[in-house]
Structure 1
């Protein structure tokens, strides 16, 4: 297995932080593409993501096509993890308020921290998870208004967001326990793009009169949050400090909330600020305190 995709050695820790930043920006970028059906969106973004490896190989004058070295379990977890996460992600942002949905989605660092915790640190991880969950409850309770007709759709969005958190937790945990060439992600991304294309042709009407802004956002999502970020995360979970990566991942909902606010898609209400603080405190308890102990 090659040591990395973009980076090698200890310097990779710095570059892996870009994965967290990219995911923090995904919510805001995705709102710009709300007009595009979710399967079509997934097809375009993962086609771009898959092409990154071929661009890299062309620049380095390496063979463009290399046979994947994944077993059946790695194929299954990789494809279902990336496909399932993103379908639920895009649906969550369409049915639920963006910031609330994003904060639920990024409960996965808490869940991952519990899975990665050693036996002696498990109680800190569980306590941190409870604190973070309380933050989510505060946020959802304020976001739901039973007098509005949209509440039922919001619940669907919240459930999709929770599905995202569970899928990505298990996907990341699996990466930490397995070995494969990071460049094989390009094959997984290509498989996800193909499945998305089939679903798009079967269930959706395409939107191809894209604006310049939509095209730019699709390229950014394909290169960043659904592209380079996955390669960097794969490196981190297999070669880096997994618990540390889980800890810094709690910066993602903060980045997402601030970016949504700056782009004018959501307001930073008191409940969202309190929820964000509780989730971050949960991260500290779950990871930092247990490591100190």
Structure 2
């Protein structure tokens, strides 16, 4: 698989994650960990079907248990921290902190073998982050910041959430030889752990309508299913710095989806954020293109 094709697959994950908020709203009032268990069960089953049709389960036999532990910890840990943070702190503020992960991916990727972080990458990430902050953190300006003890703990968990997903994504690059089929096992294990955590901590509330069940199914097939498989291919074989910066489009696209569904209202801030996100992604893309061209010239010499 070429680097460009792998990067394109990574973009599909970003598009799917942009529907996460819309489908999550539709799945109410299912509690977070139960929703996690249901959606990862669907995503894991989808993966098992794909594994059976694409190469068989034999390809999973040689994957180390350490890799399975790493992948499961990444998926389960991220969502546990995310849902806990949004329970303890105001959603807009905690969401903004949690959405530091694309910036961290761009910065951490510079430490990988064969990758180089340029000033333009950093500038693009910063500009795009400003756009994401306008969308996710708009209420910070409008309503102020809540600094109770519980909220502060939630902010800390949100930062750990961002750190967890960025670390998972960057370290996945070091596991380039591990088949993407292993993600199916990560998802099934995450579903089991989430179900156990749900039984221990939450009251069971099922979807109240057909639309609720459809939203759960859509989450499992897309943002909590296919997205993880194409993201795995993207970060392992694609341009991880460009994917990290392009991830800032997710909160923008998520807001647009909510607007189109009548769940949010478009305003000037949305248009400004769109320009910042697009500009930041363009800077990162330019930086990657220049670096690739320089690498080709040096190889020729």
Normalised-by-shorter TM-score class: 0.7 to 0.9
Matched, 1:175 2:142: no
CA shift in 2, pair 1:44/1:147, >3 Å: closer
Unpaired stretches in structure 2, ≥5 consecutive residues: 292-301
Inter-partner Cα distance in structure 2 for 1:266 and 1:74: 40
Match of 1:130 among 126, 133, 139: 126
If the length of structure 2 is used for normalisation, what is the TM-score? Answer: 0.77
1:203 aligned onto 2:201: yes
CA distance in 1, matches of 2:162, 2:241: 17
Judged with a 3 Å threshold, the aligned counterparts in structure 2 of structure 1 residues 55 and 271 are, in CA distance, closer, same or farther, namely same
- TM-score, scaled to structure 1: 0.79
Q: 1:28 is matched with which residue: 22, 42, 46? A: 22
Paired residues of 2:41 and 2:220 also in contact (CA < 8 A): yes
C-alpha displacement at 1:154, in angstroms? 7.7
Does structure 2 retain, via aligned residues, the 8 Å contact 1:111–1:169? yes
CA distance in 1, matches of 2:14, 2:55: 29
Which is further off, 249-258 or 159-168? 159-168
Give the aligned partner of residue 188 of structure 1: 186
* Offset of residue 237 of structure 1: 1.6
Instruction: State the aligned residue count.
Output: 285
- CA pair 22-147 structure 1, distance change in 2 beyond 3 A: closer
Q: Aligned runs of 1:1-293 on 2, under 5 Å?
A: 14-57=8-51, 60=53, 67-90=60-83, 96=90, 105-117=98-110, 121-135=117-131, 142-144=138-140, 161-178=158-175, 179-208=177-206, 210-289=208-287, 291-292=289-290
Residue pair 1:107, 1:132 contacting (<8 A) in 2 also: no
CA contact (8 A) 1:113 1:247 kept: yes
Instruction: State the superposition RMSD in angstroms.
Output: 3.6
- Which piece of structure 1 moves more, 15-24 or 187-196? 15-24
5+ unaligned residues in a row in structure 1: which ranges?
A: none
Q: Is the 8 A contact 1:46 1:226 kept in 2?
A: yes
Aligned mates of 2:157, 2:290 — CA distance in 1? 35
More deviation, 12-21/143-152: 143-152
Say if 2:108 and 2:170, in contact at 8 Å, map to a contact too.
yes
